């Protein structure tokens, strides 16, 4: 992929064999269209970083001069791209395989997506996340009917207009689906659509259901575990117990991302021991609200040495220094640790261990640790983890002071802290 400024854009016409192009904001509007018209062999165009100059006219020109286009990214283009431009693309670029329209301020709606669904049957990847609720069940159902080769759908922050209707249609119409992100939706997703995905999309690898409002239960979630053997990424914030977690992690050696965190979690050591046994490649683990013990978390420390992110917040004493120190001494790749609201069971001893064994740490959350984390532990982390970027030490009963953090900036120049 080539990225250009204005000077390069003017002279690039000679590169007629170029197939991939990214245009940053530095390329002005007067050069975008002439540039695109001279590069007829383009297959992949990324306009996402050109939010000042990309408009529907740009896409009309792309459609006219780059008919063999396979991939187009117009995400976060400042709301200047609308259905008009997307319809133009659909009419000429019928070999389109990948389309990203996230963050288009609601100006790309069902109308544009339906046009793509009707004319671009080769589509394998679609991102309609953060479209202000303007891409609804209607548009998603059209995709299910017209794009049977779809492998990836991102519909995060879809609002209240994406429901069981749209997701069930995708499950039935797109059996090749491997990636589904419907996080932060409020359309009332339930076991109906989740179970439909599980039964009809056996190739599923990535399933993100975080912060979805609806009637999800362990029935649907366990179905995912039983029927999707290739899962690598699973995330849900609905209250779950061992039933769902055990179904998801069993025989999952390739699972790298697991988020089953919820303040109402009923996840116990049975799940933690299974995670340790079945998921040695895990890099991200959120156990927020879990009711396990040091025994379970220590087992994870022993077996999951690739961990980069650990969240055991809101566990109110369930986990203590014993297991957090075990994690620090075994999981040296840690980049983010959250021990907030552990009711004083996690102390400076854990932070000192992190400072000694985890030099790559970027984010640390110790809010609400009942005064058990003090300046001593925080300063140790700042000395031992020079790449630290964010520290949340609020609500520590005055045991972590602004003065200590300010002094620690000597070792962590990029640190943003909250006290």
Q: Which pLDDT score, from 0 to 100, does residue 225 have?
A: 94
- Specify whether the backbone of 66 is left (phi greater than 0), alpha (psi in -120 to 50) or beta: beta
- Is residue 16 packed enough to be buried (19+ CB in 10 Å), middle (13-18) or exposed (0-12)? exposed
Tokens encoding 379: 């300063």
Give the CA dihedral 164, 201, 282, 312, nearest 10 degrees.
10
Tens digits of pLDDT across the chain (419 residues): 545 555 555 455 556 678 998 877 666 656 666 777 777 788 999 999 776 678 999 999 999 989 999 999 999 988 899 999 999 999 999 999 999 999 999 999 999 999 999 999 999 999 999 999 999 999 999 999 999 999 999 999 998 999 999 999 999 999 999 999 999 999 889 999 999 999 999 999 999 999 998 889 999 999 999 999 999 999 999 999 999 999 999 999 999 999 999 999 999 999 999 999 999 999 999 999 999 999 999 999 999 999 999 999 999 999 999 999 999 999 999 999 999 999 999 999 999 999 999 999 999 999 999 999 999 999 999 999 999 999 999 999 999 999 999 998 999 999 998 88
Tokens encoding 191: 């076991």
Q: Which among 327, 386, 388, 376 is positioned nearest to 352, based on CA atoms?
A: 376
Q: Which pLDDT score, from 0 to 100, does residue 18 have?
A: 84
Q: Which pLDDT score, from 0 to 100, does residue 22 have?
A: 85
Q: Which pLDDT score, from 0 to 100, does residue 27 have?
A: 66
What is the reported pTM?
Answer: 0.93
Q: Which pLDDT score, from 0 to 100, does residue 77 have?
A: 87
Query: Which residues, at least 6 apart from 403, have a Cβ–Cβ distance to it below 8 Å?
Result: none
Q: Which pLDDT score, from 0 to 100, does residue 25 have?
A: 65
Secondary structure class of 190 (helix, strand, coil) = strand
Helix (H) or strand (E) holding 278: helix 269-278
Q: Which pLDDT score, from 0 to 100, does residue 134 have?
A: 96
Cα gap 222→216, rounded to integer Å: 11
Beta bridge partners, 147, equal: none
Spell 151-188 as b/e; 16+ CB within 10 A means b: bbbbbbbbbebbbbbbbbbbbebbeebbbbbbbbbbbb
Q: Which pLDDT score, from 0 to 100, does residue 128 have?
A: 98
Q: What is the pLDDT of residues 281-310, one digit of tens each?
A: 999 999 999 999 999 999 999 999 999 999
Q: Which pLDDT score, from 0 to 100, does residue 330 have?
A: 98
């Amino acid at each position: 992929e080539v990225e250009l400024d204005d000077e390069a854009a003017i002279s690039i016409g000679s590169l007629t064999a170029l197939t991939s192009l990214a245009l940053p904001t530095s390329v002005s509007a007067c050069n975008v269209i002439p540039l695109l018209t001279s590069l007829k062999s383009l297959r992949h165009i990324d306009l996402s970083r050109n939010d000042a100059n990309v408009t529907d006219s740009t896409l009309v020109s792309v459609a006219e001069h780059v008919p063999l286009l396979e991939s187009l990214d117009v995400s976060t283009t400042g709301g200047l791209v609308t259905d008009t431009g997307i319809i133009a693309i659909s009419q000429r670029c019928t070999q389109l395989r990948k389309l990203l329209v996230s963050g288009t301020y609601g100006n790309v709606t069902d109308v544009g997506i339906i046009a793509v669904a009707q004319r671009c049957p080769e589509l394998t990847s679609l991102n309609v996340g953060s479209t202000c609720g303007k891409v609804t069940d209607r548009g998603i159902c059209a995709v299910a009917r017209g794009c049977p080769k779809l492998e990836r759908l991102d519909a995060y922050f879809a609002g209240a207009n994406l429901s069981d209707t749209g997701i069930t249609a995708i499950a039935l119409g797109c059996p090749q689906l491997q990636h589904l992100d419907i996080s932060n939706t409020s359309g009332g997703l339930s076991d109906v659509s989740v179970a439909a995905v599980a039964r009809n999309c056996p190739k599923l690898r990535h399933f993100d259901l975080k912060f979805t409002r609806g009637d999800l239960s362990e029935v649907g979630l366990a179905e995912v575990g039983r029927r999707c053997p290739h899962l690598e990424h699973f995330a849900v914030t609905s209250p779950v117990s061992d039933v769902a977690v055990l179904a998801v992690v069993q025989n999952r050696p390739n699972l790298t991302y697991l988020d089953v965190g919820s303040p109402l979690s009923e996840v116990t050591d049975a799940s933690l021991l299974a995670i340790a046994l079945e998921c040695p490649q895990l890099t991200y683990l959120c156990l927020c609200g879990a009711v396990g013990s040091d025994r379970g978390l220590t087992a994870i420390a022993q077996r999951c040495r690739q961990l980069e992110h650990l969240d055991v917040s809101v566990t109110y004493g369930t986990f203590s220094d014993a297991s957090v120190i075990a994690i620090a001494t075994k999981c040296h790749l840690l980049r983010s640790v959250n021990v907030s609201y552990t009711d004083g069971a996690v102390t400076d001893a854990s932070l000192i261990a992190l400072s000694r064994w985890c030099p790559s740490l970027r984010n640390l959350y110790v809010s609400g640790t009942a005064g058990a984390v003090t300046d001593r532990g925080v300063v140790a982390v700042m000395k031992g983890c020079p790449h630290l970027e964010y520290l949340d030490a609020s609500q520590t009963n005055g045991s972590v002071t602004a003065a200590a953090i300010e002094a620690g900036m000597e070792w962590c120049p990029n640190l943003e802290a909250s006290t």
